[in-house]
Amino acid sequence: MADRENHAHSHTHTHEMEGTWEQWMANPILRLLLLTLASAAVLTVIGMVALWPDGSGRRQVLQEASEIGLLSERYTATVEWVIDETCSFSTPDNEWECRTLIVVPDDGPDAGAVLALPEFVRGAVQGGGNPVPDVADGDAIVIDYEPTTGFYSYGDKDRRTALFLLVGLFAALVVVLGRSLGVLALLAMATTIVVLVGFVAPAVLDGHDPVLVSVVAASAIAFFSLYLTHGVTPTTTVALIGTLLALALTLAISSVFFALSRFTGLATEEGLVLPVVAADINLASLLLGGAMIGALGALDDVTVTQVATVAELRTQNQDLSRRGLFAAGIRVGREHIAATVNTLLLAYVGVSMPLLLLFVISNQSLIMIANSELVAVEIVRTLCGSIGLIAAVPITTWLTALLVSAGAPSDAPSNAPSDGSVSAPSGVGPDARSSGSQPVECAVEPASEFDPAPPVDSHAASAPRVDWDDFRPEDRTDLF
């Protein structure tokens, strides 16, 4: 019994779930992929250096916006009084009800002074203008200030306290549950924000191609976030390769269908305003670049999960062949993809609920609604991104199986016979009596009917083979 316990203990700790770099370098396919990844890293660094913004584009845009009155400063203020009375422009025959806010700015050129903001028309007669502020005495708000005219106006409610509380709660939960890994994940998130705000936006404003900038940024984010969060390990490298390959496929497919759809980028209010202050920006390319950034967020989730799943399967069952690992990983990945694809759709629809309601009441057919650019952009983004997600599963699963099963026959049957019995170790069994060893009786559980690695013919060990049955869901009639 002690020998068995020692064997189990050594078996658990001598196997590394991440695989080893020796296993990686022993496989020519993995060596080629590692060389490709190193080339991608060099190109990413070169791209960031070449595209790094100098700020000239941002300064020019700010100047253009200031000259046409689109640039304003924002300050916080406290509401002293809310006055609801007849509008100043009303006549005895045509009276309107208005709301006026009396505020005290907390900062800015008139900090501490009592100011009356322009009145708001109340009710349905406001005709699409600014909504009537739903505020009360003592509320904190944000006011806009136009420096050239000295004009103040209502901007928005001050929500910073709620946002800070939510960010703090989120960070605390991530750290408590994720511990050191959670801290690293938060650092990766902060780095992503820095790259987007400090590199992507200024580089596009400087006149660089939005697609090229987005691809370089996505690659940099993938390298930094995956290695920072999960460590520089062989399996993290597999997840990174799978992410970049799937992202490249997503870019290729998205480029084709964005071009076929002939998007202009002018279907939103932002798309109409941006050319006024930055005429050199290609809005169609900006849409495609944004799709690449959005796809990356789902891709790294899928690839990391697949790598962890296959590596853990290998850790728990050393007898699984490469083909068995791939088949089991695909079955898990199929469920993940089914959920993720629907998540992408719901995420895109969720941020466009008011638009969805407007289209529903427009009395147009579903196909005509889908044909409008606002909706068609989201459809193309969702479907192209989903294709990339689907491709990421077999790519990452196969690469991980190739890594963690290095040194084992790719299609060799497991050591366990198909009837569920276990071959006796050396010194145990019928031949043991001749050597003087004592037989050991072992209680063995029958093999599960859902064993992910059914034995195959030994002649298949010479070359890996994947059947379409590996992708077919198993019959689970026992669940109903």
The pLDDT value recorded for residue 334 is 86
Please tell me whether residues 213 and 103 are part of one structural domain.
no
Q: Tell me how far apart the terminal alpha carbons of the chain are, to the nearest angstrom.
A: 41
Please tell me whether residues 236 and 369 are part of one structural domain.
yes
**Chain segment 395-453, per-residue pLDDT in tens:** 999 988 888 776 544 444 444 343 433 333 334 344 443 344 444 444 444 444 444 44
Domain stop point among 131, 157, 183: 157
Q: For the residues 12-22, what does the mean pLDDT come to?
A: 50
The pLDDT value recorded for residue 447 is 42
Please tell me whether residues 33 and 132 are part of one structural domain.
no
**Chain segment 448-477, per-residue pLDDT in tens:** 444 444 444 443 444 444 444 443 444 434
The pLDDT value recorded for residue 406 is 60
pLDDT higher than threshold 70 for residue 366: yes
**Chain segment 312-329, per-residue pLDDT in tens:** 888 888 888 888 889 999
Residue 304: count other Cβ atoms within 10 Å of its Cβ. Answer: 22
Higher pLDDT, 183 or 439: 183
The pLDDT value recorded for residue 123 is 59
Gyration radius of the chain over CA positions: 31
Contact 408, 321 (CB under 8 A): yes
Domain stop point among 107, 134, 157: 157
Q: For the residues 291-316, what does the mean pLDDT come to?
A: 88
Residue 133: count other Cβ atoms within 10 Å of its Cβ. Answer: 18
Name the domain count of the chain.
Answer: 2
85, β-bridge pairs: 98
Please tell me whether residues 142 and 87 are part of one structural domain.
yes
In whole angstroms, what is the distance from residue 156 CA to residue 140 CA?
A: 9
Phi (first) and psi of residue 443, to 5 degrees: -85, 120
The pLDDT value recorded for residue 170 is 96
151, β-bridge pairs: 146
Please tell me whether residues 346 and 269 are part of one structural domain.
yes
Please tell me whether residues 186 and 298 are part of one structural domain.
yes
Please tell me whether residues 188 and 299 are part of one structural domain.
yes
Show the domain range for 92: 69-157
Please tell me whether residues 149 and 32 are part of one structural domain.
no
344 secondary structure, DSSP code:
H
Mean pLDDT of the chain: 78
Residue with tokens 């900062």: 107
Inside any domain, residue 6: no
Inside any domain, residue 20: yes
Q: Which of 290, 298, 288, 233 is nearest to 262 (CA)?
A: 288
Contacts of 432 (CB under 8 A, 6+ apart): 424, 438, 439
In whole angstroms, what is the distance from residue 232 CA to residue 367 CA?
A: 48
Q: For the residues 51-63, what does the mean pLDDT come to?
A: 87
In whole angstroms, what is the distance from residue 149 CA to residue 356 CA?
A: 39
Please tell me whether residues 152 and 175 are part of one structural domain.
no
Higher pLDDT, 105 or 121: 105
Inside any domain, residue 453: no
Helices (H) and strands (E) in the chain, counts: 15, 6
Q: Outline where 99-159 has alpha helix (H).
A: none
CATH of the domain at 85: 2.40.50
Please tell me whether residues 268 and 371 are part of one structural domain.
yes
**Chain segment 82-95, per-residue pLDDT in tens:** 999 888 888 888 88
Inside any domain, residue 447: no
75, β-bridge pairs: 143
The pLDDT value recorded for residue 19 is 55
Percent of the chain predicted with pLDDT > 70: 76
The pLDDT value recorded for residue 44 is 96
Domain stop point among 157, 181, 196: 157
Q: For the residues 70-99, what does the mean pLDDT come to?
A: 88
Inside any domain, residue 1: no
Contact 428, 440 (CB under 8 A): yes
Q: Which of 432, 44, 126, 158 is nearest to 118 (CA)?
A: 126
Please tell me whether residues 30 and 101 are part of one structural domain.
no
Contact 359, 370 (CB under 8 A): no
Q: For the residues 287-308, what does the mean pLDDT come to?
A: 88
pTM of the model: 0.72
Q: For the residues 58-79, what does the mean pLDDT come to?
A: 83
Higher pLDDT, 367 or 158: 158
In whole angstroms, what is the distance from residue 377 CA to residue 31 CA?
A: 39
Please tell me whether residues 263 and 332 are part of one structural domain.
yes
pLDDT higher than threshold 60 for residue 382: yes
Residue 174: count other Cβ atoms within 10 Å of its Cβ. Answer: 16
> Confidence class of residue 300 from pLDDT cuts 50, 70 and 90?
confident
Residue 195: count other Cβ atoms within 10 Å of its Cβ. Answer: 20
In whole angstroms, what is the distance from residue 191 CA to residue 79 CA?
A: 37
